[in-house]
Amino acid sequence: MTILDGKKISNMIKDEIKEEVDQMKDRREKVPHLAAVLVGNDGASQTYVNSKVKSCNRVGFESTLIKLENTITELELLRQIDKLNKNKDIDGFIVQLPLPPQINTQKVIMAIDPDKDVDGFHPANFGKMALDMTSFIPATPFGILELLERYDVETKGKHTVVIGRSHIVGRPMSILMGRKGWPGNSTVTQTHSHTKNITQIISQADIVISALGIPNFLKAEMVKDDAVVIDVGITRVPDDTKKKGYRIAGDADFEAVSKKASFITPVPGGVGPMTISMLLKNTLLAREMHLND
Amino acid sequence: MTILDGKKISNMIKDEIKEEVDQMKDRREKVPHLAAVLVGNDGASQTYVNSKVKSCNRVGFESTLIKLENTITELELLRQIDKLNKNKDIDGFIVQLPLPPQINTQKVIMAIDPDKDVDGFHPANFGKMALDMTSFIPATPFGILELLERYDVETKGKHTVVIGRSHIVGRPMSILMGRKGWPGNSTVTQTHSHTKNITQIISQADIVISALGIPNFLKAEMVKDDAVVIDVGITRVPDDTKKKGYRIAGDADFEAVSKKASFITPVPGGVGPMTISMLLKNTLLAREMHLND
């Protein structure tokens, strides 16, 4: 059994990006510039955005953090986005979700210039992805592809079962695993809350990608021998032995499942740490695209 | 066993559209206007485009047929598209595929204003479809959804197996059948040329959607009792008894499979006739969208 070590791979990718940025600097080229828009004071959102900014610093990107009041109107936010769209110095930007209730999230996503949409949430990017064109792939699915690639996991002709159909994980993942190329060329079964015989379907999977958010859902007896298990669950479980009062749990019963799997991502330290690196990768891609503008 | 009669439903839809157009005329509103671009003299393409124009006449749409030489340059074609994009009288248009080799098809599709892309091939529309937003759904998948709806076929919690992953049928179909709502909410398995145990997978399907193009591929012993069989195969098979010298064959061994299925589309007369009606429906939708411009 091999652990798909997202923390290690994520650091490797950051080092690789830093090297590219150093070369840009040597050539006196503009370095990639990521902006992040944070609305309100949600603790988790602040943590995410801060670590995105910190990662930019680490790899040598420029970064801009735009903090907006929780009471901002939709129109004001759309104006900020328009400014970022027009600001030639900024290669890509993200609007940290969730947004306060007075704001229509879809409208906000639609307002982002697809060429700067490094989260890959705009339908123009999603459609390109589904039609096999180059695009910004959302960070979590992109990170999973990268892990499969770095660990040389065969996906062609394998049966991949994706649990969950969210716009940011399940749906893009099932499209990506069925695309031509590698990682891809899998037979993909997309399951969700209406799936009836989920246990029987999972038992057929060579690769299981679980994005359900139910700790301990995936048990050893459910997976095939030598299955590849990608655990995208991130649930906070109360735990008094931890300083924060909780621990992060994945969907899989890691201890038991890992004994049966050929590859498995731990939680934490698997898919999670990959996401920021993939955001940086998308920002680097945005910079390269804009070079040709 | 019920035959999903695409010819009948297609005519019903045309009648419904005509009624809506008649009401528009009564209200002295502009009627929908579809343009079709035909490049070259390919016989099949000419036939398709002519029947699209004829259907426009039948339902009371305005139509414009733009015939271009086979030798047209990419730039000239892109200029024509730009004109159609800007022409406020035209609600939607299609560029009949295939295009001659000097022309990059993807570039042409990307040049079409997504709000006039009634074929639903532009990534912006494809992405909206995959993200559950209102969009132009490509005619063949749209026609299949419509057939399932008109015949009240339950899809929720059913296992749908889609054979083939083309951009115009297999891939959109597997996305659509897994979306929330009805028809949808299916557990969807997307199979393709690299799928290993296709027979075993099909045997589990409550709904089979075959877009393979291999006559007689789908045999009675492969499908479950009471399966719903949607046959998207359209292959010309030489047949001396026919005036044209060929007949159109689907993927399924209709005679045997129909005895086992609960619903089945015949070929011809199933999915095929639906496509033009769905193109008309998309054009009507385009008109309604542009009303709010």
B92-121, pLDDT tens digit by residue? Answer: 999 999 999 999 999 999 999 999 999 999
Q: Is the dihedral of CA A152, A157, A159, A163 positive or negative?
A: positive
**Which of A106, A133, A189 is the closest to B189 by Cβ?**
A189
Which of B188, B199, B141, B139 lies closest to B162, judged by CA? B188
Would you call A167 and B126 a contact, using CB atoms and an 8 Å cutoff? no
- Residues of chain A predicted below pLDDT 70: 293
- Residue contact B190–A190, C-beta within 8 A: yes
Structure tokens, B289: 């969208």
Nearest CB among A124, A186, A194 relative to B123 is that of A124
B119 is known as an active-site residue: yes
Option in A125, A185, A190 nearest B188 (CB):
A190
How many Cβ pairs closer than 8 A exist between chain A and B?
114
Catalytic residue check, A80: no
Please judge whether A123 and B131 are an interchain contact, meaning their C-beta atoms are less than 8 angstroms apart.
yes
- Indicate which of A194, A199, A206 best probes the interface with B, i.e. most B CBs within 10 Å of its own CB: A194
Q: Decide if B220 contacts B175 (C-beta within 8 A).
A: no
Shortest CA gap A195–chain B (Å): 5
Active site annotation includes A119:
yes
For residue B187, list chain A residues with Cβ-Cβ distance below 8 A.
Answer: 189-192, 194-196, 201
Domains of chain B are 26-113 (3.40.50.10860), 139-273 (3.40.50.720)
Chain B residues 51-110 with CB within 8 Å of chain A: 106
Pairwise CB contact (< 8 Å): B130 & A128: no
C-alpha–C-alpha distance, residues B212 and B166, integer Å:
9
| Chain A nearest-CA residue for B173 | A175
Continuous H helices in A27-169 = 43-59, 74-86, 105-111, 123-130, 139-150
Catalytic residue among A5, A119, A206, A231: A119
pTM here is 0.96
Q: Does B174 touch chain A (CB under 8 A)?
A: yes
- Rounded CA-CA distance B51/B63 in Å is 12
Q: Which among A130, A156, A192 has the least Cβ separation from residue B171?
A: A130
Q: Which residues of A touch B135 (CB under 8 A)?
A: 123
Q: What's the confidence (pLDDT) of residue A293?
A: 66
Interface residue A134 vs chain B (CB under 8 A): no
Residues B91, B117, B119, B206: which is the catalytic one? Answer: B119
Q: What are the chain A neighbours of B125 within 8 Å (beta carbons)?
A: 123, 127
pLDDT < 70 positions in chain B: 293
Residue with tokens 């299955």: A227
Name chain B contacts of A156, Cβ cutoff 8 Å: 194
Own/partner contacts of A6-9, CB < 8 Å, gap of 24 or more, are: A6/A143, A6/A147, A6/A265, A6/A266, A6/A269, A6/A270, A6/A271, A6/A272, A6/A273, A6/A274, A7/A269, A7/A273, A9/A146, A9/A147, A9/A150, A9/A274, A9/A277
Taking CB atoms and an 8 Å limit, are B133 and A125 in contact across chains? no
> Each residue of B239-263: pLDDT tens digit?
999 999 999 999 999 999 999 999 9
Nearest Cβ partner for A130 among B127, B156, B191: B127
- For residue B191, which residues of chain A lie inside 8 Å, CB to CB? 187
Q: How far apart are CA B64 and CA B83, in angstroms?
A: 13
Residue in A190, A198, A201 to test binding to B, most B beta-carbons within 10 Å: A190
